[in-house]
Amino acid sequence: MTGTAPMSFCGRVRPGCVKWWHIAIERRTILLGVLPTLLGIGALQAQTGLVVRGLVQDEVTRRPLIGVTVAVTTTGAERSTRTDESGAFVFSGLAQGDYSMTARRVGFEPVTQTMRLASDTSITIVLRRLIPLDTVRIQAPPQAIYGVVVTEPDLRPVRGATVQILGTSSGTVSTDSSGRFFYPVRSPGPYMVRARADGLRQQMVSVVVPRHEGVELALTLDSAEAQNTELEVAFSQLSERLVRRDPLSAFVSRTELRAAEGSGIIGALLNARSVTAKALRFTDRACVFVDGTPRPGLSANSISPENVEAVEVYSATSDRSGTLRQRWPMRAPCGDTGMPRVSAAVGGMQSSSDVVLWIAIWMKS
């Protein structure tokens, strides 16, 4: 990897100066921007470590790229994550030092950069397509979810993978010989997309389909995993809940959860637009599910929002499917939310129609 001397450029992203490098990889040039930000160091960082926030975009369209695998490596240790529907990724708890960062997604040239991390940092990565936009992308009708399913780490297309779309327009499709899939949705809004294939670990992502637009995904399946019957039941029930969603319920995607200010799940939900728009209220207790499994006594705040793909929020009366109440163990306690009590309880559960009772958390896969 080689680089030219950095040039100064002052952008609108935030006050300060932005440095740009042209990184030569495999005799091709990729533009990668690094935007150092000084968000405060000292005692807090000594406890929590440094944070790297990033955004990955298509070089031509400048649209965010979903499902890009981003890895940071230092002294033989590696951490990896995938970009969400806004093309964003986050690494937290990093120590000061030298790191190598790699971003890759099927159909694009990989980018690798070395960096010396001394403070919280924001990074913009621009990936170049190996081939022009295909006809599926060009001719995609409004409100479609489409893309490719590949294996990790070699990015081979997975033929015959099952892609399940969960939301107001639920359905299942299979990938073709090139690993591609296409599913038109009737209504814009939040969806959960799940890809699975025999012998491979499933991947699940939350997306929000804008009105009159499509969403392109790259779903990556890695290490072998035996089929989990209980998880299959949980996804079937999730599909039923999303199809029959009541107005006094909310589905919060990973991107919205990350963007909402707040420490812990409850703080993020209090600031999430899809929750505040419904005027839902939180009281001192809420019954928590994790990946479809009831977790009596668990506080939602014990789970880091960084590890969450999506969250379902329901009042006592808004789960029309009844699946959450049916699965909750009789007389099992709900978990502490850290919020004050706002309504009377019936049998240990809130009965007000606008007070949150059920929180179903789906972890990143």
Give the DSSP per-residue string, 189-212: EEEEEEEE-TTS--EEEEEEE-TT
Find residue 79's DSSP bridge partners: 72
**Same-domain pairing of 119 and 149:** no
Out of 71, 95, 127, a domain closes at: 127
Is residue 238 in a domain? no
**Same-domain pairing of 287 and 197:** no
Out of 62, 95, 127, a domain closes at: 127
| pLDDT score, position 48 | 64
Is residue 98 in a domain? yes
Report residue 215: phi and psi, to 5°: -125, 125
Count of domains forming the chain: 3
Out of 168, 197, 227, a domain closes at: 227
**pTM of the full predicted structure?**
0.70
**Same-domain pairing of 182 and 116:** no
**Same-domain pairing of 6 and 123:** yes
Is residue 241 in a domain? no
- Per-residue pLDDT of the chain (365 residues), as tens digits, is 433 333 333 333 333 333 333 333 332 333 333 333 333 333 333 346 899 999 999 998 888 998 898 999 988 788 888 888 888 998 988 999 999 999 998 889 999 989 899 999 999 999 998 865 444 444 555 789 999 999 987 888 999 999 999 988 889 999 999 999 999 998 888 899 999 998 888 888 998 898 888 888 989 898 766 666 788 888 889 989 988 888 889 999 888 887 776 678 999 999 998 999 988 999 999 999 999 999 999 999 999 888 899 999 999 889 999 999 999 999 999 999 999 987 544 444 445 788 999 999 999 87
| pLDDT score, position 349 | 47
| pLDDT score, position 10 | 35
What is the domain-level CATH number for residue 208? 2.60.40.1120
C-alpha 186/C-alpha 192 separation (Å) is 15
Closest CA to 31 of 62, 71, 67: 62
| pLDDT score, position 111 | 93
Is residue 198 in a domain? yes
C-alpha 304/C-alpha 311 separation (Å) is 12
Is residue 203 in a domain? yes
**Same-domain pairing of 139 and 223:** yes
**Same-domain pairing of 64 and 98:** yes
Range of the domain at 294: 249-363
What distances in angstroms separate CA 159 from CA 111, 178, 209, 281, 307, one per listed residue? 27, 6, 25, 45, 29
**Same-domain pairing of 263 and 331:** yes
| pLDDT score, position 141 | 57
**Same-domain pairing of 265 and 221:** no
What is the domain-level CATH number for residue 110? 2.60.40.10
Q: C-alpha dihedral over 154, 159, 165, 170, to 10 degrees?
A: 180
Is residue 85 in a domain? yes
**Same-domain pairing of 212 and 260:** no
**Same-domain pairing of 63 and 39:** yes
